[in-house]
Chain A
């Protein structure tokens, strides 16, 4: 295939652009239009008129809920099978692939012979998690999702950043610990 060359036309510096005043005027026209259109919309909505677009794109976040994308990676969630048992088979693939090393699983024998193993504990330290989503990709049994749509995860202690299995399954609400002393989970 022959190489095609496309000449990019560079904007020419004409006299009109060089004296700059015309360009300043164009810029002012744009900003003035935004200013007055937005002022008009604000005024109309303040007066209670309907059918006008909002004057600002701002989301007043703490009062209004945060708007998350459909595919946003948020807090982890462990899924259950139809019979109510956790889907996790403690294969440790997520723990292995995790670049932040924030997942810790201990396994035990499962009563169900089909799966052989199950997780005894399944802790995720959200203080270390980088929200890369590799654990979701790696899971062979679709046991972990990152779709809890929860982003307000901050706590007063590092200990409270650790989510245990019942909390990730949704069986137990996540409550802050009574301790007000900051504890380093890696060096308790």
Chain B
């Protein structure tokens, strides 16, 4: 194995990672802020945010995320007296950084042939992509605990403890819900998993419908959005980011959106056929195939995000004991039983 990596390889990987984090991540996260407002407004028979304008043009309120960003960047960055300053500043970076990193490991496309060589459209292609993403998502909980602990506020600490309890409970469920389907695929690599679905002509949601529902629920809980938004607790103002303001608060807000995108991306890759489009052989279509792959993947991801938003505005919030019961007593045993049953079926089938 040679350690000399050709320059064009480095450039291509950099471009892919930038596309994933900036092109997909930041754009969709900003767009989600608008979607959340407008979707909730329309389904509640309201109009929603429509006032932000540039020279009198409003475009259905699409400028509101920009206005929000300007507001957060220009607001005072307040650090309370009792806070541990380095940790207070580091916490949102860890939180957002972990979520952003996960985006680079998602399989936006497969391998296509063009100009006499193979181009892998997955930004960071690793043989253990799935555990990497799950571990990085779990590492994000450090940011939350750090934020609550470094704020020097009891309310912040309370929110952080809630967040830690919830995220640890549901990270376990995330991994165990995936155990069954990864056993079927026989790989921990995202691109291999997508290829399995392409080669067998069947999506993971058909093979493992229970795992899909369990993973979707646990994923919604990990992103800390309603109905699982107890660590933030908008209405009772006890959250881990109670002592944050300005763009640091904005980073925590963005983390939620980024984590939602990551969860939806993982579901797309493992349950919805990844970049594949039924009845189309995208791998033999060259650059056009690559373009369609990326668009199919992002389209499926956006549909899932739409569903998660709808769930957020449909369901009431759980009580904290109900939340932990759902995780430890329902989703975890169900996913383990699912795994055992899958293991037996695979054993007998082979």
- Which A residues are closer than 8 A to B by beta carbons? 21, 24, 27-28, 30-32, 34-35, 38-39, 42, 55-58, 60
Contact = CB atoms under 8 A, between A and B. Distances in A.
A31 B42 CA distance: 10
Contact of A57 (B46, B311, B313, B314): B46
* Chief secondary structure at chain B's binding surface: helix
Given A56-B45, A58-B46, 14 more contacts: A24-B311, A28-B311, A31-B314, A32-B310, A34-B44, A35-B43, A38-B43, A38-B45, A39-B42, A55-B42, A55-B45, A56-B47, A57-B45, A60-B47
Interface string B40-52: 0111111100000
Interface of B: 39, 41-47, 213, 310-311, 313-315
Contacts of A24: 311, 314-315
B272 to A, nearest CB: 18
B314 A27 contact: yes
Contact of A38 (B42, B311, B315): B42
Nearest to B42: A38
A21 B213 contact: yes
A77 B79 CA distance: 53
A25 to B, nearest CB: 10
Query: Most chain-A Cβ atoms within 10 A of its Cβ — which of B39, B42, B44, B46?
Result: B42
A21 B45 CA distance: 25
Nearest 7 CB-CB pairs, A to B? A35-B43, A27-B314, A58-B47, A31-B314, A56-B47, A34-B43, A38-B42
Query: Most chain-B Cβ atoms within 10 A of its Cβ — which of A35, A42, A57?
Result: A35
B43 A31 contact: yes
Nearest to A39: B42
Query: Most chain-B Cβ atoms within 10 A of its Cβ — which of A30, A31, A39, A60?
Result: A31
A35 B45 contact: no
A55 B47 CA distance: 8
Contacts of A42: 42
15 contacts: A24-B314, A27-B314, A27-B315, A28-B310, A28-B311, A32-B43, A34-B42, A34-B43, A35-B43, A35-B310, A56-B41, A56-B46, A57-B45, A57-B46, A58-B46
A34 B45 CA distance: 7
Contacts of A31: 43, 310, 313-314
